[in-house]
């Protein structure tokens, strides 16, 4: 569920949690999300902090508001999040992996072989 991470601001953690709920399809397009007050109660935080997390997603057009009804997942919210995470998260991981491989004198062929072997183990349920 939600894991308080002291290295991240709480409102960013709230936004990340909602993003994950959208990506894993717990929250679907046009589905209503928790209000800032529900989030505040759920995570025992200030409603204003929860509101800031929602605002991040509203500004990114991942969520939208219906006046008098609440906040909802944008129809293309999941696709936007997948593109964002592929671009940001995977790029960071790949950069870190390439730096570590270079440090350990692992050439490109070795690295690709290791990646393929790990993918195969994962497919076989060994990881």
pLDDT band (50, 70, 90) for residue 124? confident
Kindly report the pTM of this predicted structure: 0.74
Label each residue of 79-123 as H, E or C.
HHHHHHHHHHHHHHHHHHHHHHHHHCCCCHHHHHHHHHHHHHHHH
CA dist., res. 118 & res. 21, Å (int) = 27
Alpha-carbon distance of 27 to 33, in angstroms, equals: 7
Say yes or no to pLDDT of 122 above 90.
Answer: no
Local confidence band at 47 (pLDDT 50, 70, 90 cut-offs): very high
Would you say residue 127 has pLDDT above 60?
no
């Amino acid at each position: 569920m939600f894991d308080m991470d002291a290295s991240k601001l709480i409102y960013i953690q709230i936004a990340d949690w909602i993003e994950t709920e959208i990506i894993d399809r717990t929250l679907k397009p046009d589905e209503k999300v928790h209000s800032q007050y529900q989030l505040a109660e759920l995570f025992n935080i200030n409603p204003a902090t929860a509101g800031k997390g929602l605002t991040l997603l509203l500004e990114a057009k991942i969520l939208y508001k219906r006046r008098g009804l609440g906040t909802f997942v944008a129809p293309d919210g999941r696709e936007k999040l997948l593109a964002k995470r592929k671009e940001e998260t995977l790029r960071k991981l790949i950069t870190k992996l390439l730096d570590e491989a270079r440090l350990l004198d692992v050439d490109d062929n070795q690295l690709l072989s290791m990646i393929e072997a790990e993918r195969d183990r994962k497919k076989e349920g060994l990881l």
